[in-house]
């Protein structure tokens, strides 16, 4: 069987010596719904979720978080026009989430609140994912750092 074209991705060591999508469970922390993130990102996600719930009186809706290398391969097979190449996704570093319930649409009160408030907790909707960006993914948020 031929080697898949994405097999070279994700092979270099990155964060604390772990490759993208190859982080051990001991380096990840649980957040809502059994999702996991790198622990520093998870702590700030928790603070963001609390602030969101206090404002909207509903829980922050999440559909995706840490994505293993194998899961990145699977996503590319299922959604080739949407997925990053395996080993290049910030989901594989445990610092990206996909959100829902209004946050996933530009211009909604939920999305506008996130744009205004998430950076205070270290979370951003990156330029490429913003309205007018190269991929326009309002649902995609990344942990940049605590300001």
Q: Where are the domains of the chain?
A: 27-143
Cβ distance 82 to 104 under 8 Å?
Answer: no
Q: Is 120 left (phi over 0), alpha (psi -120 to 50) or beta?
A: alpha
| Residue indicated by tokens 């408030």 | 117
Cβ distance 88 to 14 under 8 Å?
Answer: no
d(CA 71, CA 51): 30
Cβ neighbours of residue 78 under 8 Å, at least 6 residues apart?
A: none
Give residue-wise pLDDT tens across range 15-63.
677 899 999 999 999 999 999 999 999 999 999 999 999 999 999 999 9
- Domain 27-143 grouped into CATH 3.90.1710.10: no
pLDDT of res. 8: 38
Give residue-wise pLDDT tens across range 56-109.
999 999 999 999 999 999 999 999 988 999 999 999 999 999 999 999 999 999
Cβ distance 32 to 98 under 8 Å?
Answer: no
pTM flag (> 0.75):
yes
Other Cβ atoms within 10 Å of 147 Cβ, number? 7
d(CA 99, CA 93): 17
Q: What confidence category does residue 126 fall into, taking pLDDT thresholds of 50, 70 and 90?
A: very high
Q: Which residues pair with 29 in a beta bridge?
A: 37
């Amino acid at each position: 069987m031929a080697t898949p074209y994405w097999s070279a991705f994700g092979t270099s060591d990155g964060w604390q010596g772990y490759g993208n999508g190859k982080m051990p469970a001991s380096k990840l922390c649980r957040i809502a719904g059994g999702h996991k993130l790198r622990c520093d990102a998870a702590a700030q996600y928790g603070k963001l979720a609390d602030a969101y719930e206090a404002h909207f009186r509903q829980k922050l809706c999440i559909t995706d978080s840490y994505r293993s290398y194998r899961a990145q391969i699977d996503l590319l097979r299922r959604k080739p026009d949407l997925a990053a190449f395996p080993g290049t996704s910030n989901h594989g570093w445990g610092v990206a989430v996909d959100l829902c319930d209004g946050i996933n649409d530009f211009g909604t009160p939920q999305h506008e609140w996130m744009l205004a408030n998430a950076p205070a907790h270290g979370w951003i909707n990156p330029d490429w994912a913003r309205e007018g960006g190269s991929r326009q993914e309002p649902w995609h948020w990344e942990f940049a750092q605590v300001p």
